[in-house]
Amino acid sequence: MQAARGASLTGDQEVDPPARPRASRARLLTVFGLVAATAYAVDVVSKVLAVDRLTDSADVEVVGDFLVLHLVRNSGAAFSTGTGFTEVFSVLATVAVVAILWFVRKVGSVVWAVALGFLLAGVAGNLTDRLLREPGPLRGHVIDFFMLPNWPVFNVADICINIAAGLILVQVFRGVHLDGRRETKDPAADPSEEPAE
């Protein structure tokens, strides 16, 4: 029984159900680290194999003419643009790696952790080529080897960056912030009580 103003006459109070707990920071950082390390390892190993197996051989058809393994050493950025600015791309990639490691400290959802893991793997994978491959540090050529019809040759790191971009767009459209808070249209609602994955 309740009084007219909504107070309980029996002393019982209605309690809102507790908000779903957010994933722990340690768990999210573990997810981030596992995704980044696994994807980075796949990228590095695939490039080593590509250089070893494709350097002196003809193209390898994987799915007919649709997917072909074709070795390319790319001194530029995506789509082989800016081939004269390899050092600039190397510096920008280094800054990007530092920025990702800075932002991941605030990660509050699994999807964001996975997205940043793929992003770090992709950026670090191509940066490794620029630092360690010929013709020298900061000027190294990135190893690309997946070729599709009417599309520039790419690698696993590029795939990781695109997966990350897709996941980030999904989170933006869902209104989920990096820290896991979800945007709400109700100004009276507390966004901290709406954790999201």
| Distance in angstroms (rounded) separating the CA atoms of residues 98 and 104 | 10
* Catalytic position from the list 12, 56, 158, 190: 158
Examine the residue annotation and report whether 144 is marked as an active-site residue of this protein: yes
* Catalytic position from the list 65, 144, 179, 190: 144
Examine the residue annotation and report whether 158 is marked as an active-site residue of this protein: yes
Cite the active site residues.
144, 158
